[in-house]
Amino acid sequence: MGGSYNREQIRAALAETDPACSFYLDLQTGTVLRVPDTEQSDEAEALRAMVMEGYGDRFRYIPGGNPSPGDADVDSWLEAEGLAG
Round to whole Å and give the CA distance between 72 and 64: 15
Q: What's the predicted TM-score (pTM) here? A: 0.92
**pLDDT digit string, tens, across residues 39-49:** 999 999 999 99
User: Is pLDDT above 80 for 9?
Assistant: yes
Band (pLDDT 50/70/90 cuts) for residue 37 is very high
**pLDDT digit string, tens, across residues 16-29:** 999 999 999 999 99
Sequence ranges of the domains in the chain: 7-80
Instruction: Say what the pLDDT of residue 1 is.
Output: 44
Instruction: Say what the pLDDT of residue 84 is.
Output: 84
30 touches 3 (CB < 8 A): yes
Q: What is the share, in percent, of the chain residues with pLDDT greater than 70? A: 95
